[in-house]
Amino acid sequence: MLGPLTTRTVGRMAKAYERIADDLRDRIHAGELRPGDRLPPETTLVEQYGKSLPTLRQALGLLQTEGLIEKQHGRGNFVRQPRTPVFRTNLRHQWEKDRAREPEDERKATGATEHDTGLELDDLVFYAAYADIEADEELAEIFGVPTGTSMLQRTYRTRYSAEDHPFSLVVSYLVREVVAANPELLDAGNEPWPGGTQNQLFTIGIELDRIEERVSARPPTAEEAEELGLPPGTALIVLGKTSYDTAGRVVEHSFVRLPGDRTELNFTTPLERW
C-alpha cells in the first residue's frame, strides 16, 4: 500500500509552517512520537520553533489533514492511532463466487471483510439492519422495475473490535419478491450470513454472471465523516456495485462508502492473448 501523501516540499523553499510540519512528521514516523502520545502544548511548540501561534496551528492543521494527528477538544493534539487498512480488489468477487457453494462450516470460517483486511472473524463487530422500502426512481432504473416496487434494504456496518469506526458504510438492495422465495433471507437475525450475498442468492437458484462497479470520490457529509472517523480534508470513496445474474437481470445493488484515508482499491484486468 502506498504511504500517506504529504505536502513535504521538494526543490523549493519551504514555508515556516511546512518546516514545522516536516519536523513533527519525521518525529512521528521515527517513533519518537508514538500513536496515542500527546504532543507538547501549543505554547511549548511555539517557543520550541520560534514561530507564531497561527503559524504553528497551520502546521498542526496540515498534519491533521494527513491523518497523522487529531485534536481532542479540551485535551490537546494527539498522534493518531493508525487504522486497519482495507485492500479491496475486483478479484474478490470470483473468490466470493467460488466459496458460495462450499459447505457451511467452511463458509463460516471467513468472509469478505476478513479477506480484505487480514483480520480474523473473532476480531470483528458486525451490524446489520433490514427494512422494507419502495423503489424510488433511481432504484427502479437500476433494477428495471416499476417505481414503488417492494425492495429489501439492507444496511451493514463492520468494524475491528479494537477500533471505534467501521470499515465502510454499506446499503444493499434486493427485489423483495425475488428473495422472498427463501424467507430466511428476509431476517437480519441471520446475519452475518456465511458466504455472503452470493450464497444467499444461490439458495434461491441465482448464479451471478458479472459484477459492475462504478467508483467516484467526493467530500464526506458531516454525518459520514463522524461515522467513519475521517480526518478533516479526507475524501470519501463512493462505490456503486451492481450484480447481474446469468440471464442479464440485475439482482442486487449496493452503495458502498469507503474512507479515503485507509482504503486501497486494486483493479486487475485480464487481457486476451493475440
Q: Report which of residues 261 and 143 the model is more confident about.
A: 143
Helix%, strand%, coil% for the chain, nearest 5: 35, 30, 40
- The reported pLDDT for the residue numbered 9 is 53
| Domain annotation covers residue 144 | yes
Amino acid at 2: L
According to DSSP, residue 184 is labeled G
**pLDDT single digits (tens) 175-202:** 999 999 999 999 999 999 999 999 999 9
Q: What is the mean pLDDT of residues 13-40?
A: 91
Q: In the chain, what percentage of residues exceed pLDDT 70?
A: 95
| Domain annotation covers residue 271 | no
The enclosing H or E element of 19 equals helix 16-29
List phi, psi (to 5°) of 133.
-135, 170
How many domains are contained in the chain? Answer: 2
What's the distance, CA 163 to chain centroid?
A: 13
Domain at 59, CATH number? 1.10.10.10
**pLDDT single digits (tens) 215-264:** 999 999 999 999 999 988 889 999 999 999 999 999 999 999 999 999 99
Looking at the structure, tell me whether residues 106 and 191 fall in a common domain: yes
Domain encompassing residue 214: 86-266
Domain at 214, CATH number? 3.40.1410.10
Q: Cis (ω within 30 of 0) for the bond into 192? A: yes
| Domain annotation covers residue 27 | yes
Looking at the structure, tell me whether residues 69 and 120 fall in a common domain: no
**pLDDT single digits (tens) 153-171:** 999 999 999 999 999 999 9
| Domain annotation covers residue 152 | yes
The enclosing H or E element of 77 equals strand 76-79
- The reported pLDDT for the residue numbered 8 is 54
Residue 73 pLDDT more than 90? Answer: no
Looking at the structure, tell me whether residues 62 and 91 fall in a common domain: no
Q: What is the chain's mean pLDDT, rounded?
A: 92
CA distance 23 to 8: 10
Residue 36 pLDDT more than 60? Answer: yes
